[in-house]
Amino acid sequence: MKAPNFNYVRATSLAQVLQLLARYGDDAQILAGGQSLMPALNMRLSQPNLLVDINGLEALKGIGMANGQVRIGALTRHVELANAPIIAKHLPLIAEAMPHVAHVAVRNRGTFGGSIALADPAAELPACALALDAGFVVESVRGRRQIAAVDFFKGLYATARRSDELLLEALIPIPPPSSRPVFLELARRHGDFAVAGLAFQLTIEAGSITDGRLAYFASDDRPKLGRAVLAAIKGKQLTPALAEAAVAQLARDLDPIANVHGSAKLRLYWQRMLTRRALELARLGASAGASAA
């Protein structure tokens, strides 16, 4: 199939984009990396009246730091995230996730903002943003606002971003020194869409989990926090028995969707398996850190 007819504008300013979004609303689509949009157009799953190309907007690019936060511009390419020293040093959870994002060709063109705005439940970056307590800055002609990641993802490909708003950037607080990342996903082949996955940011002190944010993805209609799981492990020593206490609570946090990859019961089993692995990796990492100290 071929894409339907549409109008095309290569934007030269943010103000121009916001005016076009205000005028066209849901009839407009933003072109950034295009790695999901172009297949959707060709399969006619998306049929916009207007395509707004924002690739020329330099203000939406780049990675930086300010006020204890890392700023990631919406037009930052996946390959830039994977290679950025700031990300490796301050947000290693994202650095661990990037090799799992599709394939090299996709990472060369795909953008951070595109992944967040699409809100694919199997995508790695929305889960990382949730685990890192990110805030997303969006703007329209009505003004600018910030939406917490926990409030941003609303359902299957659904977000709190309104049709006349453009995602500008993410602001992510730098985790404390005692905080450690664990990222795991299960896929049929490396680079395929995940069928289960997790992104943990755990604060570990003296072998105990004192705080953290546990994000699960690829099983439900959106990335979800493991609140009940965290409650079961917070303040306790990392032991194999603790992992069993954690997985026993997982059904309270997740409501997996059955699809061609497996039943809801199987997908919950996969997430339990990954949770055990993640907590074991965290335990081994804590032991190694204590030995090194």
Q: How far is CA 122 from CA 128, 151, 176, 185, 236, in A?
A: 12, 18, 28, 10, 30
What confidence tens digit (pLDDT) does each residue in 30-85 have?
999 999 999 999 999 999 999 999 999 999 999 999 899 999 999 999 999 999 99
Q: What confidence score (pLDDT) does residue 182 get?
A: 98
Distance in Å from the first CA to the final CA of the chain: 60
Which residues, other chains included, contact 15 with Cβ-Cβ below 8 Å and sequence gap of 6+?
none
Q: Residue 293: its pLDDT value, please?
A: 38
**41 closest CA partner among 15, 77, 5:** 5
Nearest in space to 37 (alpha carbons), one of 49, 27, 47: 47
* Domains within the chain, CATH numbers bracketed: 7-53 (3.30.43.10), 61-173 (3.30.465.10), 181-292 (3.30.390.50)
pLDDT recorded at residue 287: 55
DSSP state of 60: G
Structure token digits, residue 36: 């999901």
Q: What is the pLDDT of residue 259?
A: 92
Q: What is the DSSP letter of 27?
A: G
Q: Which phi and psi (to 5°) does residue 20 adopt?
A: -65, -40
User: Cα dihedral angle (199, 205, 210, 216), rounded to 10 degrees?
Assistant: 10
pLDDT of residue 290: 46
DSSP-derived pairing of the beta strands 135-140 and 143-148:
antiparallel
Are 223 and 130 spatial neighbours (Cβ–Cβ below 8 Å)? Answer: yes
- Do strands 166-173 and 194-205 pair parallel, antiparallel, or not at all (unpaired)? unpaired
The residue among 37, 54, 32, 53 whose CA lies nearest residue 3 is 37
Using alpha carbons, select from 121, 114, 112, 83 the residue that is nearest to residue 99.
83
Inter-residue long-range contacts of 264-273, CB under 8 Å, 24+ positions, other chains counted: 267/195, 267/196, 267/219, 268/219, 270/186, 270/195, 270/196, 270/219, 271/196, 271/198, 271/216, 271/219, 272/247, 273/186, 273/196
> 158 in helix, strand or coil?
strand
Low-confidence ranges of the chain (pLDDT < 50): 290-293
